[in-house]
């Protein structure tokens, strides 16, 4: 049994990322098969429960109030609206439901009480429940844990060095503090990042090092390809070569073999062949449904057809 390792160096990560592709995929597959089924993908469904008008200035984000994008602001959805979406997600084969709010941090108000009700409701439908609500204090994390929250998503996004080019309104250390609060409350950690934002290869190794040197590793690692949204500072960023995405996923899989590695934003830009290569590289989850939070995503029929062609299937069991 492979020992999980929490002291990966940048040199080791660089060496893995740059392996000849067949070797990289072989190592990723070997790591994957020790901990996961090779023919199953977890389907997750996202829902934006509070949209737009966010005070943070994340340069990639269509929901930041700092940029003029086509996203229309919407207040917090009702518990019933949210649970209806969760039931539909379950019917289409998802086993995890992720609720996202464009908040800088979680408000201590009736709104938070509604979120706690949403979490309870999603769990009682029989789905894993994940929230991504911005920065989180310890007592809020504990309330979410008591409501039954499975996972909290808070991405490190990029390396500590490049982070300041992307976000100025909160620090890398604040992100790490939120993750520590989540961990301490006994909620599983979902944390990953985005590539294609103009970062260097070293920044990608730096992100992977930050994630893989946490102990325990984040149970869930979303790897996003930048969705270039008009009106954001990154709208004209150049497109990412698909092999870069594949290498990032494979390296994450090798560094954190027991974690779920999620092929997250950016699938609409990928061909079927490219997505298949991401699965070979060890991605074992996708977001389903025609919308991520605010941007489009492949339709469920297309995804089901792709999995059929590959002889793969959506997993039907929840792990938490």
Contact 199, 158 (CB under 8 A): yes
Q: Does 61 participate in catalysis according to the annotation?
A: yes
What's the start-to-end Cα distance of the chain, in Å?
22
190 carries an active-site annotation: yes
In sequence order, the β-bridge partners of residue 261 are 221
Among 83, 85, 141, 226, indicate the residue that binds ligand SAM (CB under 6 A). Answer: 226
In Å, how far are 119, 193, 243, 261, 294 from 225, measured between CA atoms?
A: 28, 9, 12, 13, 15
Determine which residue in the list 293, 306, 307, 314 makes contact with ligand SAM, applying CB under 6 A: 293
Active site residue 130: yes
Identity of the residue, 14 or 237, whose beta carbon is nearer to ligand DTB in the bound complex:
237
Nearest distance in Å: CB 21, ligand SAM: 24
Residues within window 123-152 making contact with ligand SF4, judged by CB under 6 A = 134
Piece of the chain touching ligand SF4 by CB under 6 A; list 34-42, 53-61, 87-95, 268-276: 53-61
- Residue closer to ligand SF4, measured from CB, 158 or 251: 158
User: What tokens does 2 get?
Assistant: 């492979």
Residue 60 contacts residue 265 (beta carbons within 8 Å): no
**Does residue 115 touch ligand SF4 according to CB under 6 A?**
no
Whole-angstrom Cα distance, residue 43 to residue 92? Answer: 9
Q: CB of 82: closest distance to ligand SF4 in angstroms?
A: 17
- Picking from 166, 174, 164, 79, the residue whose alpha carbon sits closest to that of residue 129 is 79
Q: Does 62 bind ligand DTB (CB under 6 A)?
A: yes
Nearer to ligand DTB, 25 or 47 (CB): 47
- Candidate residues 43, 93, 134, 206; the one interacting with ligand SAM per rule CB under 6 A: 134
Q: Are 99 and 82 in contact (CB under 8 A)?
A: yes
Q: Does 52 help bind ligand SAM (rule: CB under 6 A)?
A: no
Binding of residue 153 to ligand DTB (CB under 6 A): yes
Nearest to 157 by CA among 73, 68, 264, 312: 264
Q: Which two tokens stand for residue 179?
A: 């993750």
294 binds ligand DTB (CB under 6 A): yes
The residue range among 138-146, 240-248, 288-296, 306-314 that interacts with ligand DTB, by the rule CB under 6 A, is 288-296
Q: Which of residues 31, 44, 47, 61 is near ligand SF4 by CB under 6 A?
A: 61
Q: Which of 43, 52, 93, 100 binds ligand SAM (CB under 6 A)?
A: 100
Burial of 239 from C-beta contacts in 10 A (0-12 / 13-18 / 19+):
exposed
- Window contacting ligand SF4 (CB under 6 A); options: 37-45, 55-63, 140-148, 224-232: 55-63
Is-catalytic flag, 262?
yes
Residue ranges that bind ligand DTB, judged by CB under 6 A: 46, 62, 98, 100, 132, 153, 155, 192, 222, 224, 227, 264-265, 292-295
Residue ranges that bind ligand SF4, judged by CB under 6 A: 54, 56, 58, 61, 63-64, 102, 104, 134
Q: Tell me the catalytic residues.
A: 54, 58, 61, 98, 130, 190, 262
């Amino acid at each position: 049994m492979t020992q999980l390792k929490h002291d990966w160096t940048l040199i080791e990560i660089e060496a893995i990322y740059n392996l000849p592709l067949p070797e990289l995929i072989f190592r990723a597959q070997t790591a994957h098969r020790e901990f996961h089924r090779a023919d199953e993908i977890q389907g997750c469904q996202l829902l934006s429960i509070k949209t737009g008008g966010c005070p943070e200035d994340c340069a990639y984000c269509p929901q930041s109030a700092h940029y003029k994008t086509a996203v229309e602001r919407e207040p917090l959805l009702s518990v019933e609206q949210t649970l209806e979406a969760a039931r539909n997600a379950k019917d289409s084969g998802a086993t995890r439901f992720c609720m996202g709010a464009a908040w800088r941090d979680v408000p201590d108000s009736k709104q938070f009480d509604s979120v706690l009700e949403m979490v309870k409701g999603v769990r009682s439908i029989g789905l894993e429940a994940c929230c991504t609500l911005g920065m989180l204090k310890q007592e809020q994390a504990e309330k979410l844990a008591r409501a039954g929250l499975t996972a909290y998503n808070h991405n490190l996004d990029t390396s500590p060095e490049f982070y300041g080019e992307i976000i100025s309104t909160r620090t890398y250390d604040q992100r790490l503090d939120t993750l520590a609060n989540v961990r301490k409350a006994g909620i599983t950690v979902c944390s990953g990042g985005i590539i294609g934002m103009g970062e260097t290869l070293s920044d990608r190794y730096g992100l992977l090092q930050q994630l893989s040197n946490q102990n325990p590793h984040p149970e869930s690692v979303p790897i996003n390809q930048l969705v270039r949204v008009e009106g954001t500072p990154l709208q004209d960023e150049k497109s990412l070569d698909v092999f870069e995405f594949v290498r990032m996923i494979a390296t994450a899989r090798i560094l954190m073999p027991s974690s779920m590695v999620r092929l997250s934003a950016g699938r609409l830009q990928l061909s079927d062949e490219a997505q298949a290569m991401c699965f070979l590289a060890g991605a074992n989850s996708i977001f389903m449904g025609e919308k991520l939070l605010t941007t489009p995503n492949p339709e469920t029929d297309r995804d089901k057809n792709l999995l059929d062609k590959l002889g793969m299937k959506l997993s039907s069991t929840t792990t938490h």
